[in-house]
Amino acid sequence: MKYAKVFGILLSAGMLSVSCGEPVELGEPVHLFGHITQEPIALMDYLVCDGEQTISYRVPSESKVEYHEEIFTNLQKVEACPVLNPEMPEPTYPIYSVFALDEGETGENVEFAWSDGYLYNRDGTVYAFDFDFDSLIDDYDMNYREERDVKEGVSVKCRYYIAQDPDGWKSEWLNPVADRMISEEILLTDAVLSDGILSFSLTNSGEQTMRTGGTDYSLHVKLDGIWYGVPTLPGTVVWDYMPEIPAGETYEESCYIRSRYGDLPAGTYRVGIDVWSDEGDRAEKSAVYHEFTIE
């Protein structure tokens, strides 16, 4: 039988008894990072969130090829036991996050978060994973890049999965959003949600050309009367397309919600789209919203 060891607790394929909560059922161990070790790694962001701030790091540029290869070679050696429970273990701080992109033709990337012996992968799977992430900063002379106060927003990789459980979204892992002034010029009408695609019309009832966020829309969920931003699926790339709508004209738009946000749990949601004058500053934008319910 294969074994993994997490913080001095002996794990095996089977059941892991923990001091609190439900026992964690583990599957057979696997190795996760063989694909990323086949090509030079172009970029690796390393983030540490302690519950009050998130600090990001990178290895020194002059050593990145050697250091990246060594880090992922060591990660590949670890036996990862998949957690089979329907509800994933709750992360605790500090949380370490990694995003890496290789230089191969496919641009294969890695994205995961790690907390208290568990690795939360970009595909939603969770593994018991024994690795000393805290030592990476000193071992590889990582350079401090920036820090962000958690009050400005939780910044943890794979938050899309961490922020959900079988009952829906968990507000402690989501970021509240402030309402913008509702646009007086742009009207959102004829909204239809079908197969994960929200289609609607935007009509410019004003006297000047307006621009909208277009594909750069946001999705919010309402929990206990407060709107929170919904995290996108890991690996999501948003291509900005910001159409202009001349005065008196209508623009047809579609938001591919499922491809960006997956199959959403039941709840009250809204799409928010920024609106601003073609001659003005986007910093002075207003917004249009469409609210809908998923049952």
pLDDT digits (tens, 9 = 90+) for 201-257: 999 999 889 888 766 688 999 999 999 999 999 888 766 667 889 999 998 888 888
Helix (H) or strand (E) holding 144: strand 143-149
CATH class belonging to 186-294:
mainly beta
pLDDT tier, 283 (very low <50, low <70, confident <90, very high otherwise): low
d(Cα 188, Cα 225) in Å, to the nearest integer? 23
pLDDT given at position 2: 31
pLDDT in tens, 154-163: 678 899 999 9
Domain limits, CATH 2.60.40, in the chain: 186-294
How sure is the predictor about 20, in pLDDT bands with cuts at 50, 70 and 90? very low
Instruction: Give the least confident one: 27-31, 93-97, 152-156, 169-173.
Output: 152-156
Burial status of residue 292 (CB atoms within 10 A of its CB: 0-12, 13-18, 19 or more): middle
Each residue's pLDDT tens digit, 138-181: 999 999 888 776 655 567 889 999 999 888 999 999 989 988 88
What pLDDT does 132 receive?
96
Place of tokens 């004058």: 277
Biggest alpha carbon–alpha carbon distance for the chain: 73
Percent of the chain beyond pLDDT 70?
A: 84
User: pLDDT value at position 37?
Assistant: 62
Contact criterion met (CB below 8 Å) for 85 and 25: yes
Q: How far apart are CA 31 and CA 136, in angstroms?
A: 20
Q: Contact at 8 Å (CB) between 75 and 131? A: yes
Q: Distance between CA atoms of 3 and 294, rounded to whole angstroms?
A: 42
Whether residue 141 contacts residue 57, with contact meaning beta carbons closer than 8 Å, is answered with no
Distance (Å) of CA 227 to CA 51, 256, 262, 292: 21, 20, 19, 13
Residue 68 φ/ψ, nearest 5 degrees: -60, -45
Tokens standing for 242?
């910001």
pLDDT over 50 at 33, yes or no:
yes
